[in-house]
Each structure stands twice: as structure tokens, then as C-alpha cells.
Amino acid sequence: MLLKVNEIKQGDVLILEIEGRLHGADSADFQDKIMDMLKEQPPKMLFDLSGMTRVDSMGLRAFIMTSNKVKSYEGKMALCGLQRIVEDVFDISGFSSFFTICKTREEALSGLNGN
């Protein structure tokens, strides 16, 4: 399955819907794509992972690098809709407390918008 990334702009939040397996070569492409987007320094980023079925070390690194970058220009970032198998990766690797992770998109949006 090919990785699909849909960009949606909602207010000042850049929502990225990720579908498929964030794995192998796709992870590297994904990392490049996100680094490109970060040049414009979006103030708030939300990754909706409800369609993402797998993440590998490269994928996880892409999220870590994004988070570090966003923090460096004092932006905000959140993840939502993690499937069980993806949630597992974040949990066991100890990164679930490193990121802001929400169950639903609504919850994440209200968190990012400071409600």
C-alpha cells in the first residue's frame, strides 16, 4: 500500500492526514516532505494518524524531528487517532509522553487552539 498524505488547512492549524504504512522508503520521503513544510513554520500542526497502519524507526524519527523543529520556533504539534499497533510503537518506545497524543481530531484541535 502506498503512503498517502492529505494536507488540510483549518484556521491556523495545518492538519496532515496520513494513510497507509509509514515504512521504509516511504518514511524517508515523508521526512523530506515534512521538512519542506516546516520551512514555512506552520504555528500549529496536527497529524491525524487514523489511517496509518504502521510506523517504523524512520517514521518515528520524522515525528521527533518535526516536534523538535516546531518547538524551536515555539509552535505547537499534536497527534491523533492512533491505531492500536501504532500506539504500541509510541508507548513501548517511550515517546507517547514526548508528544501530545489525543484520541480524536476534535480533542486535538481544541487542545491546539488552547481551549
Minimum distance from residue 10 beta carbon to other proteins (Å): 29
Smallest distance from the beta carbon of 93 to other proteins, in angstroms?
Answer: 5
Q: Which residues bind other proteins (CB under 8 A)?
A: 1, 21, 24-25, 27-29, 53-54, 56-58, 60-61, 64, 84-85, 88-89, 91-95, 97-98
- AA letter at 101: I
Query: Is the separation of the CB atoms in 21 and 3 below 8 Å?
Result: yes
Cβ atoms of residues 20 and 1 within 8 Å: yes
Q: Residue 12 or 98: which CB sits closer to other proteins?
A: 98
Q: What are the phi and psi torsion angles at 111 (to 5°)?
A: -65, -45
For other proteins, the closer of residues 20 and 43 by Cβ is 20
Give the strands of the sheet with 101-102, arranged side by side.
4-10, 13-22, 44-55, 76-80, 101-102
Q: Cβ closer to other proteins: 88 or 106? A: 88
Question: Least Å distance between CB 39 and other proteins?
Answer: 20
